[in-house]
Amino acid sequence: MPKRVIVIGSGIIGASIAYHLAKGGAEVTVLEAGETGGVATRASWAWINASWGNPESYFRLRIRSIAQWHTLQKDVPALAVDWCGGLIWDLPANELDAYAAERAKWGHPLTPVSRAEILALEPNLTTVPERAYRAPGEGMLEPLATARVLLDAARALGADVLAETPVKWLAEEHGRVVGVMTDVGVIHADETVIAAGAQTAKLLDSVGLSLAMSAPAGLLSHSKPAPRLLNGLVMTPGLHIRQTAEGRIVAGTDFAGADPEGNAEGLAADLQAKVAAMVRGAEGLGLDFHTVGYRPTPADGFPAIGRPNRKNGLYVAVTHSGVTLAPALGLFAAQELLAGTRDPLLATFSPDRSGLA
């Protein structure tokens, strides 16, 4: 008998878990409170990276997930990832060099680039430094479309994906989670996966478990579409920019966006003005819209993935950087739920670790 698994949430994390579970032979039902494709996911800058300031265990998980994106693209040809690489000069020179040295030590060097090389890569940039680094293995994607492609791939393997179906609480019997309560009653399952982004702690609370997390706000501006002006991801001090598949330049004070603090229109207009000053050809583009997203973030900033409190029938997967991490977390969750094996790369990312539970 295949395992029946409910996945709560159809953002990029739930979609990847659903796909990997269905591929592993599970009978999967995705329950989504709203439209499919996620909440944080659709507001993401969607940079696939193994960027700076992280401990080695987290860096290794991110590198593994980048590799799993490539595997996924072979399995699901409709997935469109642009492996454009990133140009980085958003840190003071000494920190940038320290980051490059750390990456080299860990076997994934960055490429130093001169001003001339930066301009060869991005001829439309107006203000560039004497030197920067390039991260060749980085990429970007369109996050909502990507989550939906993964959901379609899960469907093709037999998964049910139900939109507008909020889970009210987790259903528990004799200390085991046996499914979920919805508007149409209890839906039973052998395993229930919470991939509900910022709503994760609320669902855990329904069975008396806690997870310390926050959901910081981040605003991104989207220009009107333009012909190709940028070739890759550009990370400069106070301005991260990339151009989407449909030609919009998406900008944040950094990839995560700043808290608009009540002045979203003002912040979006400022960002668009910076884009116009930075990118030749973007002067007359104008702002089309802005988004404010909320990044689901466990309290210590790292992913929380596994069985909370060893609760039978329950699994949780919540993280920021979910666009980068979705492939690995999806694969590892499916392996743990279906074969009982926990990937060693998850060793430090239990939801029960100190400070979270």
Judged by the rule CB under 6 A, the positions of this chain that interact with ligand FAD are 8-14, 31-34, 38-41, 43-47, 166-167, 195-199, 203, 218, 220, 255-257, 293-296, 318-324
Q: How far is the CB of 54 from ligand FAD (least distance, A)?
A: 12
3-class SS of residue 264: helix
Residues 40, 45, 50, 52, Cα dihedral to 10°: -100
Q: How far is the CB of 270 from ligand FAD (least distance, A)?
A: 16
Query: What are the start-end ranges of the H helices in 198-286?
Result: 200-205, 264-278
β-pairing, 27-31 with 4-8? parallel
The nearer residue to ligand FAD, 179 or 257, going by C-beta atoms, is 257
The nearer residue to ligand FAD, 258 or 276, going by C-beta atoms, is 258
The nearer residue to ligand FAD, 66 or 94, going by C-beta atoms, is 66
Contact partners, residue 240, CB within 8 Å, separation at least 6: 45, 47, 90, 233, 234, 251, 252, 253, 254, 255
Q: How far is the CB of 282 from ligand FAD (least distance, A)?
A: 20
The nearer residue to ligand FAD, 12 or 149, going by C-beta atoms, is 12
Q: How far is the CB of 114 from ligand FAD (least distance, A)?
A: 26
The nearer residue to ligand FAD, 257 or 351, going by C-beta atoms, is 257
Q: 23-58 burial, b for 16+ CB within 10 Å, e for fewer?
A: bbebbbbbbbbeebbbbbbbbbbbbbbbbbebeeeb
Nearest to 212 by CA among 351, 56, 8: 351
Contact partners, residue 94, CB within 8 Å, separation at least 6: none
The nearer residue to ligand FAD, 103 or 130, going by C-beta atoms, is 103
Q: How far is the CB of 167 from ligand FAD (least distance, A)?
A: 4
Q: How far is the CB of 284 from ligand FAD (least distance, A)?
A: 26
Residue in the shown chain whose Cβ atom is closest to ligand FAD: 11
Please give the Cα distance from 166 to 182 (Å, whole number): 6
